[in-house]
Amino acid sequence: MHEQQWPLWEVFIRSKQGLDHKHAGSLHAADAAMAIENARDVYTRRMEGVSIWVVESKYIHASNPDEASSLYDPANDKVYRHPTFYDLPDELKHM
Amino acid sequence: MDYPALIEYALHLADNALILGHRNSEWTGRGPILEQDIALSNISLDLIGQARYLYQYAARLIGSDTTEDELAYGRDSWDFRNCLLVEQDNGDWGKTVLRQFLFSAWQYYFYERMQQGQDRELAAIAGKSLKEVTYHLRWSSEWVIRLGDGTEESHARMERALDQLWQFTGELFVPANYERALSAEGVAVDSEQLGPLWRGRVEEVFGEAQLSPPDAAWMQKGGKEGRHTEHLGYLLAEMQFLQRTYPGCEW
């Protein structure tokens, strides 16, 4: 193997039943076309998916775990933000 | 229906798939990068799967309790009807992907035709396999372009691989006796007709890859009739070892 590694890509797969793409894992590839082919070979061998997204890992920005308490705890006592106080009409699906 | 010819034809197609599948599997665990190791191993499994359908069909035609395993593991080099291209050694990654590309381009047009053939069993196998081969062709084309139009080093290696493999491509378009016997009945694909289609696809990809087919006119042949290069014997020795040593062994 070369010391020069191909860039890392994050793979998102939409399954047959799923409505959204879910993070499946990561892999190495030289470019986007190869990343999609690699994702097909590595992550959809067991009929997991019908659609693939890839994005170079360097373009993903993450929140800082050290800031978790200030970021997420304030939502704990704000139950009124959940839309649980509405009566949903029966025709409405996927809620 | 010419039964002996149909059996030989089914074996020819099965041997093509099995031998290339086995060759590719020699990369398993040694691929240049994990993702490509898996990709080529997937292609191996596709090809071996195709071989199984074809061996099962041949075994049924032969009758008398013949099994697919006997056909794969019990025949000798001169019984094998695969084309010479698929038995060539792996060489470097470039040679392996070029061999796959030259073969997949042929197999793509071949299965496309066989789908419409008069033999329903073969037509069904072709229909199922064509989806797999469409991907093999796409994958191997990408690699030929990537390496051919890559660095000076990769381009030189692709040219060397092309010099080694090109002489084994002519055989694909020269019908063997059993093919001739069956194509009159619309059972076998007319291999001569595939030539221009194959050539068109190969030149298109080579154009993008900055490669050009060698001018050398001499083409090797004989594999389809059981006359093989020295490579096949070594391959069979390894592939058949277990069944030869412990006949009928299962696990």
DSSP state of A39: H
- Domains belonging to chain B, first-starting first, are 3-245 (1.20.1260.10)
Instruction: Select from A6, A37, A40 the Cβ nearest to the Cβ of B142.
Output: A37
pTM attached to this predicted model: 0.88
pLDDT digits (tens, 9 = 90+) for A48-68: 788 999 999 999 998 888 888
The answer to whether residue A49 is domain-embedded is yes
Model confidence band, residue B250 (pLDDT cutoffs 50, 70, 90): confident
With a cut of 90, say whether residue B176 has pLDDT above it: yes
Provide mean pLDDT across the span B44-65: 95
Q: Contact A28/A67 with Cβ under 8 angstroms?
A: no
> According to the model, what pLDDT value does residue B16 have?
97
Q: Give the tokens for residue A5.
A: 């590694």
Q: Scan for tokens 């994005």, then name that residue.
A: A55
Chain A environment of B35 (Cβ under 8 Å): 27-29, 38, 41-42
Ordered strands of the A51-56 beta sheet:
A22-28, A8-14, A51-56
pLDDT higher at B3 or B127: B127
With a cut of 60, say whether residue A2 has pLDDT above it: no
Q: List the one residue out of B88, B83, B87, B92 whose CA is nearest residue B30.
A: B92
Contact (CB<8Å) B142/A30: no
Give the domain range for residue A8: 1-59
Contacts of B220 (CB under 8 A, 6+ apart): B84, B167, B168, B170, B171, B229
With a cut of 70, say whether residue B49 has pLDDT above it: yes
Q: Contact B114/B16 with Cβ under 8 angstroms?
A: no
Q: Could you tell me the CATH number of the domain that includes residue A30?
A: 3.10.20.520
> According to the model, what pLDDT value does residue B161 have?
97
Contact (CB<8Å) B35/A42: yes
Q: How many domains does the structure of chain A reveal?
A: 1
B30, B33, B46, B139, best to mutate vs chain A, most A CBs in 10 Å: B33
A41, A44, A52, best to mutate vs chain B, most B CBs in 10 Å: A41
Residue B147, min C-alpha distance to chain A (Å):
12
